């Protein structure tokens, strides 16, 4: 039975013409300008103890367009400008609900270049996408087909730091169906020596994507550091070279995690993981780079939304559960378990592999949680939200 109204983002590369590139870059700049102006207006209103929401900022945008200083806002489509005001409203809603930090101003050099168009801001006919204010359709590289009869509800155009252009189309995907229920369950222990260790005893190697390109990345970053700040063209060229290496690392990591999470969700009905606090773990400077490269948070996010798609269950065991120190055979709790201890022998005579033992304990704790609901923190709400799906499904899923 298909999951009702499941939307996913289909992301493709495209090659803009010179005129399209100029138009899109101008649009990105206007989106950033409007966002910052609205954020400043809301901040000033807050100091006066006044309330400003999307409706007020939309009226401000109309007034800004009539001024001589901001008349250039009329040169681009109004749709992405209105959308950035809606994004700002969502950002403040999440901030007041304590789900995110306070919105920050967008930087010209560091912020993501993107613009979102709703249905009134684009035309999609016969496989050709044309944006507002443009006469020619985008030259999209169709790396995979859209679902039959797909009608995008929103289109997001972006350019990454490596200079690559992307278009992401949010569509309903009828191909996502609930998988047949099974009685299989697996405990998953994340690590650095091995990316994952399963309660079945299987260990999945850590590809260490960043380490493979570390020398090339270091060389590119040294060359960038030697460029003077005023050396515009050469500095921009060196920055793009370093960004291309970063992008290649991220693409390989994302592809590997997609294949891995898809396999785990298809094979298991229940998946038990540990609720780690990565922001504290990365404070260890000797491990921070390796932890970021392992992308445990991205792995969890993918696992959760795919489980929501396919009718599986992800259980996150409390981070304080002593999975490594607890004997999975007799339940004895060891006093200490330093990180350098990879194997240990319990008083009952059982010799444990540290990671396999932890995965077995996580599975047992997850089953207890499923039975009585104790000892676990609530699952994050992101799997049911479309935002997580938009962010994480834009790449091709195997």
Q: What's residue 351's pLDDT?
A: 86
Residues in contact with 30: Cβ distance below 8 Å, sequence separation at least 6, in sequence order:
72, 73, 75, 76, 80, 81
Instruction: Compute the half-sphere exposure of residue 372: CA atoms within 13 Å on the CB side of its CA.
Output: 5
Residue 2 lies in a domain: no
What integer pLDDT is reported at residue 374 of this predicted model?
52
> CA dist 141 to 130, 165, 240, 244, 265, Å?
14, 11, 21, 19, 29
Q: Do both 41 and 154 map to the same domain?
A: yes
Does residue 225 sit within a domain? no
Last residue of a domain, one of 113, 141, 171: 171
- The per-residue pLDDT for 397 is 46
Interatomic CA distance for residues 36 and 107, integer angstroms: 9
CB 158 within 8 A of CB 113: yes
Residues 166 and 203 in one domain: no
Shared-domain flag, residues 153 and 257: no
Q: Report residue 183: phi and psi, to 5°.
A: -105, 15
Active site residues: 189, 274, 355
* Number of domains observed in the structure of the chain: 2
Q: Is residue 54 part of a domain?
A: yes
List per-block mean pLDDT (blocks of 10 residues) for the chain, which spans 398 residues.
71 96 97 97 92 94 96 96 97 93 92 95 94 95 91 95 95 90 93 92 93 94 88 88 95 96 95 87 86 92 94 90 85 81 82 89 86 51 41 43
Q: What is the pTM of this model?
A: 0.83
Query: Both 128 and 197 in a single domain?
Result: no
Number of Cα atoms under 13 Å in the Cβ half of residue 25? 12
How is residue 229 written in tokens? Answer: 């700040």
Do 117 and 199 fall into the same domain? Answer: no
Contact 186, 360 (CB under 8 A): no
225 in Cβ contact with 308 (< 8 Å): no
Q: What pLDDT shows up at residue 4?
A: 58
pLDDT of residue 109: 85
Residues 6+ apart with CB under 8 A from 260: 195, 196, 204, 299
- pLDDT value of residue 330: 87
Looking at the fold, whether 44 and 165 belong to one and the same domain comes out as yes
Q: Are residues 11 and 135 in the same domain?
A: yes
Domain extent at residue 319: 185-209+251-392
What is the model's pLDDT at position 1? 42
Element housing 21 (H / E) = helix 18-47
Q: Is 239 among the domain residues?
A: no
Same domain, 160 and 196: no
Specify the pLDDT at position 393. 43
CATH number of the domain within which 265 lies: 3.30.420
In a domain, 366, yes or no: yes
DSSP character at residue 383? G
In this structure, is residue 199 part of a structural domain? yes
The pLDDT value recorded for residue 332 is 80
pLDDT at 391: 42
């Amino acid at each position: 039975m298909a999951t009702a109204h499941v939307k996913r983002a289909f992301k493709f590369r495209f090659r803009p013409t010179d005129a399209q590139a100029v138009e899109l870059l101008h649009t990105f700049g206007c989106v950033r300008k409007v966002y910052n102006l609205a954020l400043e207006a809301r901040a000033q209103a807050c100091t006066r103890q006044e309330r400003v929401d999307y409706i007020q900022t939309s009226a401000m945008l109309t007034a800004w367009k009539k001024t001589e200083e901001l008349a250039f806002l009329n040169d681009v489509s109004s749709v992405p400008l209105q959308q950035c005001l809606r994004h700002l409203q969502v950002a403040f809603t999440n901030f007041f609900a304590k789900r995110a930090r306070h919105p920050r101003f967008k930087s010209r050099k560091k912020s993501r270049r993107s613009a979102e168009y709703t249905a009134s801001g684009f035309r999609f006919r016969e496989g050709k996408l044309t944006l507002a204010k443009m006469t020619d359709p985008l030259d999209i590289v169709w790396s995979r087909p859209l679902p039959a009869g797909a009608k995008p509800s929103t289109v997001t155009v972006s350019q990454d730091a490596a200079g690559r252009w992307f278009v992401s189309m949010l569509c309903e995907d009828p191909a996502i169906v609930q998988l047949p229920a099974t009685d299989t369950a697996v405990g998953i222990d994340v690590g650095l020596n091995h990316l994952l260790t399963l309660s079945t005893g299987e260990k999945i190697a850590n590809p260490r994507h960043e380490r493979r390109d570390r020398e090339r990345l270091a060389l590119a970053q040294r060359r960038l550091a030697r460029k003077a700040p005023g050396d515009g063209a050469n500095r921009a060229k060196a920055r793009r070279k370093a960004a291309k290496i970063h992008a290649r690392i991220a693409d390989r990591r994302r592809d590997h995690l997609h294949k891995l999470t898809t396999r785990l969700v298809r094979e298991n009905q229940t998946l038990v993981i540990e609720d780690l606090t990565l922001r504290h773990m990365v404070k260890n400077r000797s491990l921070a780079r390796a932890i970021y490269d392992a992308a445990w948070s991205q792995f969890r996010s993918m696992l959760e939304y795919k489980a929501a798609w396919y009718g599986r269950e992800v259980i996150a065991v409390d981070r304080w559960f002593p999975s490594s120190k607890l004997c999975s055979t007799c339940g004895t709790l060891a006093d200490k378990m330093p990180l350098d201890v990879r194997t240990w022998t319990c008083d009952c005579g059982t010799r444990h592999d540290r990671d396999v033992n932890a995965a077995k304990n996580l599975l047992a704790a997850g089953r207890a949680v499923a039975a009585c609901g104790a000892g676990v923190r609530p699952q994050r709400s992101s799997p049911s939200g479309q935002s997580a799906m938009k962010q994480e499904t834009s790449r091709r899923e195997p």
